[in-house]
Amino acid sequence: MSLWQGQWFLDREEGTHWLQSVLGKPYLDAYGMTVKQRILDTQGVTMLIDFNVSQNPTTRKLTISATVQTQYGETSFTQEV
């Protein structure tokens, strides 16, 4: 998720569309849909089990928590962006 679209020199299409789809959008749903799709498009991810996104207006940070099923097993993560 930390990879912004266009940052990876081998594939400029790879990455999260932060500028186009997340930053500056007034609704958490816009963030959530973009991030969920990014997770589901990740190679090896087979299912999104749990997902939560919250925004702190004071720090202007977005916290994303998810539990996913992958071809290797279940894993969870929380990331602040």
What residue segments make up the domains of the chain, in order of their start?
18-80
Contacts of 29 (CB under 8 A, 6+ apart): none
How far apart are alpha carbons 42 and 54 in whole angstroms?
22
The model's pLDDT over 18-72, given as tens digits with 9 standing for 90+, comes to 555 555 555 567 778 888 888 898 889 999 999 998 888 898 888 989 999 999 9
* 53 or 3, greater pLDDT: 53
Q: What is the pTM of this model?
A: 0.64
pLDDT of residue 68: 96
